[in-house]
Amino acid sequence: MTSVLVLNGPNLNLLGTRQPEIYGHTTLADVEAMCVAHAEARGIHVTCRQSNHEGALVDAIHAAKGTFDGVVLNAGAYTHSSIALHDAIAGTEMPVIELHLSNIHARESFRHTSYIAPVAVGMICGFGALGYSLALDAMIGHLGGPS
């Protein structure tokens, strides 16, 4: 069965508790439950993980190789700074779809640069929590359909 890792980075554990005007009212637990339900409906398996630590996210991408078919990654602020995450994706050659709740291109200029984008299959941003379902569908399509 197709298996996808949904990996969330720093501060995304705060979702739904602050800055709802930017990130909405949905909590991380809600997002993860939605991902699991969406995966079930599509006939794939999803595992969700979150870490505030760059090295733990690098480790999770390394560990995903051979375990998962693809990764949906919201790297949070590490998107804009992490050469280590860029190298982990390039080094493992894992198919990664970059995901952001907010439209990073409509925000501060420091959010316009992504170190993930050059090594990602593609990027979804600006659709809030719906983006996770869109990213899972995009990953299924990229992998050639559920198996």
Query: Given the rule CB under 6 A, which residues bind ligand CA2?
Result: 11-12, 14-15, 17-19, 23, 74, 76-77, 79, 100-102, 104, 111
CB of 83 to ligand CA2, least distance (A): 17
Nearer to ligand CA2, 15 or 140 (CB): 15
Q: Tell me which amino acid residue 82 is.
A: S
Residue whose C-alpha is closest to residue 72's, from 146, 11, 123, 1: 123
CB closer to ligand CA2, 77 vs 143: 77
The residue from 38, 78, 100, 132 that is catalytic is 100
Nearer to ligand CA2, 2 or 98 (CB): 98
CA 88 to centroid of chain Cα atoms:
14
Pairing relationship of beta strands 96-100 and 122-125 according to DSSP bridges: parallel
Smallest gap, in angstroms, from Cβ of residue 99 to ligand CA2? 7
Cβ burial of 40 (10 Å; 0-12, 13-18, 19+) is exposed
